[in-house]
A = this chain, B = another copy of it.
Amino acid sequence: MQPIMTIAEVEDLMVEVFPHAARSYRLEELGSMTAKLRMVPTEDNLRPGGSVSGPTLFGLADCAMYYAVLAMIGPEVLAVTTSSSIDFMRKPAAGKDLIADVELLKMGRSLAVGDVKITSEGQDGVVARATLTYSIPPKR
């Protein structure tokens, strides 16, 4: 399944409906059931010990999945996360961008399921992996 929106169309949509996300993330690639999102962590994203916080990584994974789903089905902005599991495995490198790679495993009419792997630029190994399920509102 190929995306039906371009990178620019998805980004313009986010500026309009989700400016908080548009400021934090940059959509870099869209492919067949895949997407790549980039984030530059700031001071606000750190937790005690100086590592990127869990909610920051969860937010990146969740938005990466949101961008990927919308790119595939069009601007169904009311698609919402219904469940997720996430594993935090490595501390990301300090001061480096975070990259989220989405692989959609199922794109049904009412549910989408995808895996997201987050890496730290220039560092081997996965920082965090998440699986997310989105519920897609019925067509009116």
**Chain A positions near chain B (C-beta within 8 angstroms):** 17-18, 20, 44, 47-49, 51, 53-55, 58-59, 62-63, 77-78, 80-90, 105-106, 111, 113, 115, 117, 125-126, 129, 131, 133
B83 touches A87 (CB 8 A): yes
> A99 → chain B, closest Cβ, in Å?
15
Contact partner, A113, options B44, B89, B105, Cβ 8 Å: B89
* A80/B88 in contact, CB under 8 A: yes
A49 with B62: CB separation less than 8 A:
no
Expressed in whole angstroms, the Cα–Cα distance for A79 and B95 within the complex equals 22
User: Which residues of chain B come closer than 8 Å to A111, judged between CB atoms?
Assistant: 82
> Which residues of chain B are within 8 angstroms of A58 by Cβ–Cβ distance?
54-55, 58-59, 62, 84
Cβ–Cβ contact A49 & B80, under 8 A: yes
Complex copy number for this chain: 4
A87→B51 CA distance, assembly (Å): 25
Q: A55-B59, A85-B85 are in contact. List 14 more A-B contacts (CB 8 A).
A: A17-B48, A18-B47, A47-B80, A54-B62, A55-B62, A58-B84, A82-B88, A85-B86, A85-B131, A89-B105, A105-B126, A106-B125, A106-B126, A115-B115
